[in-house]
Amino acid sequence: MFDPDELDQIREAKAEWEEETLSPTLERFGEREDEFTTDTGGQEVDRLYTPDDIADQNYCEDVGFPGEEPYTRGVYPTMHRGRLWTMRQYAGMGTAAETNERFNYLIENGSSGLSMAFDLPTQKGYDSDAAMAAGEVGKAGVAIDTLRDMEVVFDGIPLDEVSTSMTINAPAGVLLAMYIAIGDKQGVPREQLRGTIQNDILKEYIARNLYIYPPESSMRLITDIFEFCAEETPNFNTISISGYHIREAGSTAAQEIAFTLGDGIEYVQAALDAGLDVDDFAPQLSFFFNAHNNIFEEVAKFRAARRMWAKIMEDRFGAENPKSKQLKFHTQTGGSTLTAQQVENNVVRVGYQALAAVLGGTQSLHTNGKDEALSLPTEQSVRTALRTQQILAHESGAADTIDPLAGSYYVESLTDELEAEAFDILDEVDRRGGMLDAVESQWVQRQIQDVAYERQQEIEDGERIIVGVNEYQVDEEPDADIEDVDEEDEKRQKQRLQAVKDERDDEEVEAALAAIKDTARSDANLMPPIVEAVKVYATVGEISNALRDVFGEYRPST
């Protein structure tokens, strides 16, 4: 809190500055725009910020210190001074063997964590030989049909030495079971397995549509994973509650915070309703945010989200364990901001976005390759993206002090504004019955679509400049080195799948699938039978179909 007399002096001095110094310059030259706003247009950016803009802020209660509530300045006392963020690079290259090669390349080049992309059939719970998989096998990531594929992906990679993030949602339990099975085969104790499964199904209903089962059944699978991992793999993050895809779909920064934390509230409540204790599973929750180009808005977004989650977990759910209140998050630079025109410009965009994530206190970071608007990234672009993080860590000084933008009148004011707007959105979500109801009624989707439409109109009308797209264009583009998926890969993947089916014990597989169905019809935890099923080489599609037989498939209302 500032001294009232001092604030009066600042207000008077500002008024004098506006009259005597600013006005003559404005009258003569004006400003570039009539109005300045943050990147997503949610907040108006004032010409100048002073202590008066944060006059009501209480430092200890609203900002505090790193590692202490309300965690505005970070969840750990030393943050990046003690340990740098995990440098993950998203990879999934058609076949398991190619993905293993890329993973080893990243490790050799200094990546401290792996991030695994799956093709669309895997994400939808289909095998590579399914009719629905035709033409998509290995196209958006690696094709995983059985445990054999995962064995190839992690060949020579000790799971007790790496942390692996898996971007998988509807069949998350199946891929987690495979990872656990690989660890068992390597002799790694389950409590030493580290990583994250995305496992955020509400975001699929909102932004990506890669769901399988109805919401109620999907939530049951998620809470079963919470319970299983709390006992078996306590160092593995059971969910990465994702605002990334919400922002990619077009949301504002405030909407990204609100809808992401709203999903988190829904998951916590579902787990409590299932009989779990909040402090048993909440420390394993993690979040996944986007980083866009406006550095100050992004930093304020991360700070506001941390503070909000601490309040939500204490006030709403009565969490007592400090780890239950700490919002730990992974960041990926904004894929939707990358352009096919002048791809070299994307290196600059990614650099600024990565800086925002680090200044905002991220726990891990993926930097996009410059060519991801065109194809899967090449080895060279992946190396440049990784080097971007390494230069940021070791040459920029951005990691040398904690929360360096704290105390900025602008950043503190913007943090407060984003928090207030996000809480207003959450209040509206509550009035609509919570995130599940708000999603099923399509209200959340409409809010995002409206913003996305307005933004696109601004670009087309030239009101929003995208360098190289609607301004500063060039007539010719150099040929880009494109990473392509060989069409023969799909044929070879089907052959490998058939070979596994020919070798395995069919009776063991049938018994394992029957056990999954029986468990799905009961209240028992589904993870143990799923782990046993993957160990006898039941496929992703077979396990997903067993659950489809019991749960059905989701068809959204229009």
Task: Give the separation between CA 411 and CA 114, rounded to whole angstroms.
Answer: 32
Write down the pLDDT at residue 484.
62
150, 165 Cβ separation under 8 angstroms: no
In the predicted model, what is the mean pLDDT of residues 231-241? 94
**Length of the chain in terms of residues written:** 558
Beta strands (DSSP E) in 334-458 are 364-366
Six-digit token pair at 30?
Answer: 């004006």
Beta strands (DSSP E) in 95-139 are 113-116
Task: Give the separation between CA 221 and CA 209, rounded to whole angstroms.
Answer: 17
pLDDT band at 182 (very low <50, low <70, confident <90, very high): very high
Write down the pLDDT at residue 479.
59
In the predicted model, what is the mean pLDDT of residues 167-189? 97
Count of helices and strands (H, E) across the chain: 22, 9
pLDDT band at 378 (very low <50, low <70, confident <90, very high): confident
Nearest of 40, 141, 129 to residue 98 by alpha carbon = 141
Q: What is the pLDDT of residues 26-44, one digit of tens each?
A: 999 999 988 999 987 668 9
Task: Give the separation between CA 231 and CA 276, rounded to whole angstroms.
Answer: 12
Write down the pLDDT at residue 88.
84
Six-digit token pair at 70?
Answer: 């309300």
Amino acid at 28: R
Could you tell me the CA-to-CA distances from 303 to 121, 202, 356, 441, 510 in Å, in that order? 37, 23, 11, 30, 50
pLDDT at residue 219 tops 90: yes
pLDDT at residue 113 tops 90: no
Write down the pLDDT at residue 238.
93
Mean confidence (pLDDT) of the chain: 94
In the predicted model, what is the mean pLDDT of residues 33-59? 90
Task: Give the separation between CA 146 and CA 175, rounded to whole angstroms.
Answer: 9
Six-digit token pair at 305?
Answer: 């989200």
Six-digit token pair at 426?
Answer: 């959450």
Task: Give the separation between CA 60 and CA 401, rounded to whole angstroms.
Answer: 19
Out of 62-76, 89-103, 338-352, least confident range: 89-103
* More reliable by pLDDT, 106 or 221: 221
Write down the pLDDT at residue 489.
87
Q: List for the chain the helix, strand, coil content (%; round to 5).
A: 55, 10, 35
DSSP string, 396-433: SSTTSSSSTTTT-HHHHHHHHHHHHHHHHHHHHHHHTT
Nearest of 505, 300, 507 to residue 420 by alpha carbon = 300
Q: What is the pLDDT of residues 355-373, one digit of tens each?
A: 999 999 999 999 999 998 8
Percent of the chain with pLDDT over 90: 88
In the predicted model, what is the mean pLDDT of residues 152-172? 95
Sign of CA dihedral 75, 80, 83, 86: positive
292, 461 Cβ separation under 8 angstroms: no
Beta strands (DSSP E) in 354-478 are 364-366
* More reliable by pLDDT, 443 or 112: 443
Q: What is the pLDDT of residues 379-394, one digit of tens each?
A: 899 999 999 999 999 9
Task: Give the separation between CA 240 and CA 88, rounded to whole angstroms.
Answer: 14
Under DSSP, the state recorded for 478 is P
Amino acid at 293: N
pTM assigned to the model: 0.92
pLDDT band at 498 (very low <50, low <70, confident <90, very high): very high
pLDDT band at 558 (very low <50, low <70, confident <90, very high): low
Nearest of 225, 268, 217 to residue 525 by alpha carbon = 225
In the predicted model, what is the mean pLDDT of residues 76-96? 89
Q: Which three-class secondary structure state does DSSP give residue 29?
A: helix
Find where tokens 């989200």 sit.
Answer: 305
214, 170 Cβ separation under 8 angstroms: no
Cα-flanking dihedrals φ and ψ of residue 39, to 5°?
-55, -40
pLDDT at residue 482 tops 80: no
pLDDT at residue 204 tops 90: yes
pLDDT at residue 50 tops 80: yes
Nearest of 323, 260, 321 to residue 287 by alpha carbon = 260
Q: What is the pLDDT of residues 282-294, one digit of tens each?
A: 999 999 999 999 9
Write down the pLDDT at residue 477.
66
Burial track 84-112 (b if 16+ CB lie within 10 A, e otherwise): bbbbbbbbbbbbbbbbbebbebbbeeebb
240, 200 Cβ separation under 8 angstroms: yes
Write down the pLDDT at residue 49.
96
Task: Give the separation between CA 176 and CA 196, rounded to whole angstroms.
Answer: 9
Tell me the three-class secondary structure of 484-504, residue by residue: CCCCHHHHHHHHHHHHHHHHC
pLDDT at residue 483 tops 70: no
Q: Sort strands 285-291 and 239-242 into parallel, antiparallel or unpaired.
A: parallel
pLDDT at residue 140 tops 70: yes
